[in-house]
Structure 1
Amino acid sequence: MSLNLGGMQVVSLLSGTLDYSQIVQQLYQVARQPGDALNQTIRTLQQKKNDWSNIASLASKLQDALVALADSSTFTSFATTVGGEDTSAITASASTGAAPGTYNITVNLGSPATFTSSAGIGAAPTLSTQLSSPVFSQPVIAGYVTVTIGTTSKTISVSTTDTIQDVINNINSAFGSTVISGAAINGNQLTFTNNSGQAIIFGSAGDTSNFFQVIGLNGVQVSAGSNGASGLLGHVQLTTYLQSANFAISVTERNGDIKINGVDITYNAQTDTLQAVINRINSSAAGVTASYNPLTDTITLTSKTSQPITVSDVTGNLAAALNISGTSQAGTPWSYTINGVSGTSAGPTVNNVIPGVTFTIQSAGSCTLTVSQDTSTLTKKVQDFVNAFNSLYNQLQTYTQKGGDLQGDAAMAQLAFKYMNDVLSNGLPGVAPQYANLTVQAIGINNGAVGSAPGTTNSLQVDTNKLVQAFQNDPNEVQFLLTGMATKLNNDLVNLTGQFNSLTPITSSNMNLVGIAQAEQNMYSKMINDTLQQQQTIYDQAQAEAQQLMFQFQQLQQFQAQAAMELAALRGLFATTG
């Protein structure tokens, strides 16, 4: 806030002048000082509010770690180890309820069922089809191609406006005779006779047009008098809408439905491409993978099992157009022997033949599979809990120690001790009678050397070896102790954070709970607002007093000016009459 000290700012004295603007400014600053002093109070209050917010965040993370620790999966996880002669023969995993033990396994690969188009699915061109037509496996590039007869090579110009017959005619013209005769399209191939009397070789490394590559003649040699044939000419177009994709059997139904293994695959012939349909099949629950072979212009469905594949048109005729309708042959089942007991599987993945275990056959061979309790999940979750606890515990101590931001804060002073006691004391909720006198220290969680009193050390520690040994000796003991500890500590943390979870669910009696941390933040927010209002009142009063002083000095200026005018008039009067 600033003062407007413009205009006359001096008062004449007998001994000189007085700069009243400077006096008012100094008095104003003095009057503001009590308000300025409150800035430190505001900063201190804001820091304490921030500290409580940080405590709430750390406590919330600790609650999350407790929920994860108490989850049943922490204590029911199993690990699998593949050993023996062929360790790559299988991969395996185990779930809750797995049967621990070592199993001798021999496996053999099976084969999936496949279903392939009975013939090419693209429409054949004619000799009069232009090379620019979208019927070939790839676009034809204009340029030139080379034809060699005996020792004579000729370059033949190829334009995209040419037809297949035009290219043949151009070859014959280049050699001055009918070296290629009887050209025709048979079975989607260009057939012809070498009438040159010498061997003909189509194409060379220097060709600038890909015409011979596109029709499958590049590098082909046809002996004198022999018949030659190209590769497949007409191909279905993967990225063109179905109704105009050059199918030999036109797909004309706008909205169609093809059923694969009982799963409906719908399509729109006007807006879907064959590639889109392939993608839809592959992401469906049909249990097959669809692929297109550009060399044979066919579709192949490969099952994920050895079971036969069934395909039919429900509406439309896409299955007919793909030349893939009916039921395929079955594949070969995957086989295995476990501890001398043989079995087969329709797919490479075998479920629950060993209780709770899934293994996938990767290659033929023999191996051993060991199923054991997974202690890595337990030790990780315990360590995650300890890390989260120590972060909160140490921060609580830092804030409340001598010189800390919240030294003397009654609401926070006892929390660190209380939470450490929750972890290390007995009397845990839900603990079976046989474990009632135990604490988590019995399974390797402690706060220092033997004899350390709860709350007197700076952190929790984990004796991993002791924890693992305890779990292997009696997993129920470990589960009861950790779950009971987690529940007890979480109940107290809920009072701090107001955050409910599976360990402390929300109920009608606690649904309106405001956590201690939030209540403290609310309190400090109110104190900050009250202090800001107090500060503003001081500033407003200082401003008002300064304005009053300015008014009084201005009145004095006006009086002096009036007196000076009267004095000047008197002087003039006396000078005239003198």
Structure 2
Amino acid sequence: MSITFDGLASGLNTQDIISKLLRVEQQPINRLNQRKQQIQKERDAWKDLGTRLQNLASALSSLVQRSTVVGFTVRPSDSNAPFTASARPGAVAGTYSIQIQQLATSTTLRSTGPIGAEIDPNAVLNNTNLRSGVTAGSFTINGVAITVDPAVDTLNDVVDRINASGAGVVASLVTVDGRLRLKIEAATPGGPLQLGALGDTSNFLSVTSLLGAPRTGDAIVGTRSLAVVKTSVPLNQAMLATPVSGAGTLTINGVAINYDPAVDSLSTIVNRINSSNAGVTASYDATSDRVVLTAKTTGSLSITVSDTGNLATALGLDPNQQQLGQNAVYSLDGGATWQYSASNIVSDAIPGVTLTLTRTMSSPYSFTVEPDTDGAVSAVRRFVDQFNSVLSFIAEKTSYDATTKTAGTLLGDSAVRAVESTLRRLVTSPAINAGGRFRTLADVGISFGPVGSAVGTTNQLQLDESKLRAALQENPDAVFELFGATSRATLTTPGDIVRVAGTPRPPASGRYVITSDGAGNLTAEFRDQANQLLWSATGTITAGGSNTTLVPGLTLSAATTLTGATSEISVTQQEGVLTQLGRYLNGILGRDGLVRVRGDAFEQQLRSIDQQIDRFQQRLDDRKAQLVRQFATLERILAEMQTQGTQLQGQIVKMLGAS
């Protein structure tokens, strides 16, 4: 730590003097910091511009997809259509009608009867396979409390106790769907039947499914059987009516499901079936105590079941007792001709349209397939908004306010002006060799305003929505060609190349000549329309194989036998307006594009300025240390002189006193 002397001898404010001396030498650093802040603003502005250009590219990307522009929709005649529908590009517009006689259903295979062992009414309640355990306490019928102790009472004991309680009811066990249920009946016609009270301490009425059950006539019957299979314990403890004798393999539709009754529960088996590829959904219906297999597909296809053990028998799965699904039956001509489908999803009745049938009907229902202008208009609106966002941002950053004498961050930046100019030029240029009747975006309502617009009103892209919708209704394919047409490659002379797919790059008209030596070696030449050789390359291919690298953008497929025959591919250049714009945006936003290059340049400038600031700061620190040392030396010398003066004065005083 350095020690400084701040005017102890001289009386000077040396720190203030040093600070003022250094202030002049600080100016280069101040100027560099100001330049750094300006560059940071420019960098951030370009970063923001890049984000807006990326958003524009994203909005544009959907418009060069045929499905966005050449879309169709199915418009039902009312809000109660017997189907849901979707339409694909290539659908045939028109008015149709459909009559649905029958919906497709799935094949089901249910247990032929309840699979749990029947309850023993003479067994102690705790030892029976009731749906859940009975709690000790009391329950109420018609205001009379009846006690139950599951550790002592049997079901018959409780029935007898109800009948002897004086509650005015008769309890009995009845068989419904092959299984016992508890029935409570009024002792006299029209007599009261109030089951349960808030003060009940036993759940007996709930366990027997009486609580909440409806009264029918003078009786209430439990809504479910008393007994049920225990689904969460191993099969050999599940209280099945037919015990599973040992491990085995249950095969459903050819898919093997292994089981071990000492380990696997019914829930485990159901989950194992559902996670397999057996093509069925398995479930357990606790109300009827049955297992149900439902085919995942509709139609009259059977479910096959076999078993190396007896699990299928224990579960009552008899493939001869299944209920086959039915096929959908519909007509598109008012019932004159009926069509059949194994599925309720019908995609081959009307070209480009998929109908999902939802209900039957006795008379034809009409609907219309028409161009879907909403999706395309929405996508165009997003594109216009993003385009204007870019223009507005550039205008703001390159503006100059004469009143405040304030310049925009990018004023004088020729690169950003070039971006704006190119965007405006591309969006107003015609499509290249577009096949439809539309040549420019203005033809479909996208422009900078009509001819003769007032000065200052044409800075933003504008959308005439009615004009765009009219064009989409008239010829959506032509609108797509205007937006997103790309060059076409056609195999005009097959040879060792028998098929070609893709979009050639670059998009120039001409022809590719592919020569082959018959051994898999290829040479490609591209010649323009004047037959001038512009490009050549070599590659390889195998018989029956393909090559994706010889011709940029194209996949070449070879004949099964190579003979050395030459192939020719004709290229017709086409580029929609937005295809051209998209290619430009991809270029300036790419790895070596303008936005990335400018960003890297700004970062390089900032690093250079930081290095200069560090050098100037080091010099400044050295100068400050030098000044501190010089003033410290001055103070020390002055202090020494003052000390010497004091001593001399003392000696003079002594001399004068002695005289």
**Residue in structure 1 matched with residue 508 of structure 2 by the alignment:** none
CA distance in 1, matches of 2:398, 2:184: 100
Q: 2:313 aligns with which of 287, 311, 320?
A: 320
Q: 1:370 aligns with which of 368, 383, 387?
A: 368
Displacement of 1:181 in angstroms is 12
Aligned to 2:464: 463
Q: Deviations over 1:464-513 (max 9, x none)?
A: 22223223333332222111112111121122101xxxxxxxxxxxxxx5
TM-score, with normalisation over the residues of structure 1?
0.79
Distance 1:130 1:271 in 2: 27
Question: Counterpart in 2 of 1:506?
Answer: none
Counterpart for residue 532 of structure 1: 610
Cα distance in 2 for residues equivalent to 1:8 and 1:197: 119
How far 1:82 moved relative to its partner? 1.8
> Where do 1:255-404 residues align within 5 Å?
258-259=251-252, 261-262=253-254, 274-275=266-267, 278=270, 288-303=280-295, 304-313=297-306, 318-327=311-320, 328-339=322-333, 340-365=336-361, 366-402=364-400, 403-404=407-408
User: Partners of 2:583 and 2:214 in 1: how far apart?
Assistant: 83
1:345 deviates by: 2.6
Alignment equivalent of 1:431, drawn from 413, 429, 434: 434
Q: Which digits, 9 at most, give the CA deviation of each residue in 1:249-306, with x for residues without a partner?
A: 45687796552x4556677878876456556656776565544332221133344524
Shift of 1:407: 1.0
Q: Give 1:550 shift.
A: 1.1
Q: What letter is aligned with 1:421?
A: R
Give the aligned residue type for 1:171.
R
AA partner of residue 158 (structure 1): V
Amino acid at match of 2:57: Q
Taking the aligned partners of 1:199 and 1:397, their CA distance within structure 2 comes to: 89
8 Å Cα contact 1:146/1:156 also seen in 2: yes
Deviates more, 1:410-419 or 1:437-446: 437-446
Three-state SS of the structure 1 residue aligned to 2:338 is strand
Amino acid at match of 1:338: L
- Separation (CA, whole Å) in 2 of partners of 1:229 and 1:494: 72
Q: Structure 2 matches for 1:203-222, cutoff 5 A? A: 204-206=195-197, 207-216=200-209
> Any conservation in 2 of the 1:95–1:356 contact (CA below 8 Å)?
yes
Structure 1 residue matching 2:298: 3-state secondary structure: coil
2:624 aligned with 1:552, yes or no? Answer: no
| Contact 1:134 1:237 (C-alpha < 8 Å) held by counterparts | no
CA distance in 2, matches of 1:38, 1:117: 87
RMSD of aligned Cα (Å): 4.3
How far is 1:11 from its partner? 4.1
Aligned residues: 540
Distance 1:229 1:30, change over 3 A: closer
Q: 1:140, CA displacement in angstroms?
A: 2.7
- In the alignment, is residue 418 of structure 1 matched against residue 422 of structure 2? yes
CA distance in 2, matches of 1:372, 1:198: 66
Q: 1:8 corresponds to which letter in structure 2? A: F
Residue 89 of structure 1 aligns with which residue? 82
1:234 aligned partner: 227
Residue 395 of structure 2 corresponds to residue 407 of structure 1: no
- 1:508 is matched with which residue? none
Q: Does 1:8 align with 2:11?
A: no
- Deviation of the 1:546 alpha carbon: 1.5
SS in 1 for 2:132: coil
Paired residue for 1:189? 180
Measured at CA, do residues 274 and 69 of structure 1 come closer, stay the same or move farther in structure 2, by a change above 3 Å? farther
**Is the Cα–Cα contact under 8 Å of residues 386 and 460 in structure 1 kept in the other structure?**
yes
Does the 8 A contact of 2:447 with 2:461 survive in 1? yes
2:146–2:162 CA contact under 8 A, matched in 1: no
**Match 2:161 to one of 154, 166, 171:** 171
Offset at residue 368 of structure 1 (A): 0.6
**Counterpart contact for 1:11–1:556, Cα < 8 Å:** no
The percent of aligned pairs where both chains have the same amino acid is 29
The TM-score, its normalising length taken from structure 2, stands at 0.70
CA 1:453–1:217 in structure 2 vs 1: closer, same or farther (change >3 Å)?
Answer: closer
Secondary structure at the aligned position of 2:73 is classed as: strand
| Cα deviation 1:291-347 (Å, max 9, x = unaligned) | 433222113334452424414255665543332241513244332121132123334
CA apart distance, 1:371: 1.4
* 2-structure distance, mates of 1:480, 1:181: 81
Superposition deviation, residue 213 in structure 1: 3.5
Structure 1 residues 165 and 364: CA distance shift in structure 2, 3 A: closer
Tell me how far 1:518 sits from its aligned partner. Answer: 0.9
Q: Give the AA of the match of 1:419.
A: L
Q: Does the aligned pair in 1 maintain the 2:182–2:210 contact within 8 Å?
A: no
In the alignment, residue 551 of structure 1 is paired with which amino acid? R
In structure 1, distance between residues paired with 2:331 and 2:603: 71
In structure 2, the residue matched to 1:475 is: 476
Aligned partner letter, 2:417: A
Alignment partner of 2:148 out of 140, 143, 158: 158
Q: Tell whether the 8 Å contact from 1:79 to 1:374 is kept in structure 2 after alignment.
A: yes
Range that drifts further, 238-247 or 109-118:
238-247
Give me the whole-angstrom Cα distance separating, in 1, the residues matched to 2:238 and 2:13.
96
1:447 match: 448
Task: State the alpha-carbon separation in 2 of the partners of residues 232 and 411 from structure 1.
Answer: 83
Structure 2 contact 388–460 (Cα < 8 Å) conserved: yes
Alignment correspondent of 2:620: 542
What is the aligned counterpart of 1:490 among 570, 577, 582? 582
Measure the CA separation in 1 of the matches of 2:375 and 2:99: 30
Which ranges in structure 2 are unaligned for 5 or more consecutive residues? 216-220, 401-406, 485-575
Asked whether the equivalents of residues 224 and 288 of structure 2 are also in contact (C-alpha less than 8 Å), the reply is no
- In structure 1, C-alpha distance between the alignment counterparts of 2:146 and 2:137, rounded to whole Å: 8
Give the direction of change, closer, same or farther, for the CA distance of 1:100–1:230 in structure 2 (3 Å limit): closer
CA deviation vs aligned residue, 1:45-101 (integer Å, no higher than 9, x gap): 1111111111111112222222211112124422112227x9432222222332322
Bigger mean CA offset, 264-273 vs 367-376: 264-273
Q: Cα 1:281–1:390, aligned 2, differ >3 Å: closer, same or farther?
A: farther
Separation of aligned partners in 2, 1:309 and 1:141: 45
Distance 1:129 1:549, change over 3 A: farther
